[in-house]
Amino acid sequence: MSERQNKTDELPAKIPKRIEPKQVSFRVSEQDYLKLSQSAKTLNMSVASFAKKKAQNARLVTPKISADDAKKIAYQLSMIGNNLNQLTKLANEGGSIDTQSLRAIKEQVDDIWQQLI
């Protein structure tokens, strides 16, 4: 048992690898917290990162699309990517690709662009 204790006593203390090593915490009223929370939610941020950005006098811009819409668009782009990969594999194997498939993919991409504008 004493050997085991000696080995653990010899281990260096772990120093956390943080980009910003200092931590600041403060208390706010329920009303102030609700304001912070609502503002952070509007910007798709956490309350902590919102408060940090405000303390840094950073310019915060409201996103053009909501977080849910961004997830839907990312999913749609993923599906389009899968379709393109399948068509590319078919073309590389010497198969023929019908123009209707390419037109359908182009229409899907155009629809996503319309959602973003």
Q: Is residue 20 assigned to a domain?
A: no
Q: Is residue 13 assigned to a domain?
A: no
Between 61 and 11, name the one with better pLDDT.
61
> Which residues are CB-neighbours of 79 under 8 A, at least 6 positions away?
108
Q: Is residue 12 assigned to a domain?
A: no
Q: Is residue 93 assigned to a domain?
A: yes
Give the domain extent around 35.
Answer: 27-63
Answer whether 60's CB lies under 8 Å from 40's CB.
no
Summarised one tens digit per residue, pLDDT across range 35-75 is: 999 999 888 899 999 999 999 999 988 878 887 888 888 89
- Confidence label for 78 from pLDDT (cuts 50, 70 and 90): very high
Collapsing DSSP to helix, strand or coil, 63 comes out as: coil
Q: Tokens representing 76?
A: 């749609």
pTM of the model: 0.50
